[in-house]
């Protein structure tokens, strides 16, 4: 078999694992959609009572909601990529491009979601000596974002190393699956005959 034949064989839906697709999908859903929404929901009441403006919204609660909703909206491609990553087993050629695209998009998503690692908030209504003013506060976490981006970059190489490390196990799984299918077919044929 040539490399092209191996890739075509690995891309076959009959070599997939629906349970794995569901597990991977729900894990990504939990991390990138459910957890941010729950954190926002628990913190929303406390955020409503402040006079802080975040991302140009009317108050901190609305600004936080804009940020969380953007995070969840931009996580949709991650959810869609999680399905084929979980569907194809480790050691399959079919899994490599999806994991690489996932890592690249995750890095982009982190950069956008963190606004490049610099958050700013404006506090309105500060009164000093009878003069009302506003104050802009910034939080610089660029280095944390840079380290996270390097981890995403490393994930691309891990996709290839995962393939090499699990290729033999993948072949063993395929052989076991063929044996099971042939036994089922033999049982079915012997029952009819």
pTM score: 0.77
138: Cα separation from own chain's centroid: 27
* Per-residue pLDDT reduced to its tens digit, 78-135: 999 999 999 998 889 999 999 999 999 999 988 888 878 777 666 666 656 666 666 6
Q: Quote the CA–CA distance of 96 and 154 in Å, as a whole number.
A: 14
Q: Which residue has the tokens 């990553």?
A: 85
Give the bridge partners for 140, in sequence order.
118
Angle (nearest 5°) at CA 147 between 145 and 152: 90
Residue 191's pLDDT is 74
Q: Which run of H or E residues covers position 60?
A: helix 60-74
Q: Quote the CA–CA distance of 152 and 150 in Å, as a whole number.
A: 5
Q: Which residue has the tokens 């995070």?
A: 71
Q: Which of 95, 99, 110, 96 is nearest to 142 (CA)?
A: 110
DSSP structure class, residue 119? E
What token pair was written down for 141?
A: 């976490």
* Per-residue pLDDT reduced to its tens digit, 142-181: 888 899 899 989 999 998 899 888 989 988 988 898 888 8
Q: Is pLDDT larger for residue 180 or for residue 53?
A: 180
Q: Quote the CA–CA distance of 37 and 98 in Å, as a whole number.
A: 26
């Amino acid at each position: 078999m040539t490399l092209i034949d191996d890739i075509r064989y690995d891309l076959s839906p009959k070599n997939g694992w629906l349970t794995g697709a569901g597990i991977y999908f729900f894990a990504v859903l939990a991390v990138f959609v459910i957890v941010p929404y729950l954190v926002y929901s628990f913190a929303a009441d406390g955020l409503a009572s402040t006079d802080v403006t975040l991302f140009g919204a009317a108050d901190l609660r609305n600004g936080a909601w804009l940020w969380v909703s953007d995070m969840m909206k931009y996580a949709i491609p991650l959810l869609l990529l999680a399905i084929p990553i979980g569907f194809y087993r480790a050691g399959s050629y079919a899994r490599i491009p999806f994991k690489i695209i996932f890592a690249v998009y995750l890095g982009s998503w982190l950069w956008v979601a963190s606004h490049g690692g610099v958050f700013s908030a404006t506090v309105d209504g500060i009164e000093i000596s009878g003069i009302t003013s506003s104050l802009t506060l910034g939080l610089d976490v660029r280095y944390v974002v840079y380290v996270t981006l390097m981890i995403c970059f490393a994930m691309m190489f891990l996709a290839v190393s995962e393939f090499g490390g699990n290729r033999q196990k993948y072949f063993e799984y395929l052989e076991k699956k063929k044996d099971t299918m042939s036994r089922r077919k033999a049982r079915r044929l012997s029952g009819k005959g």
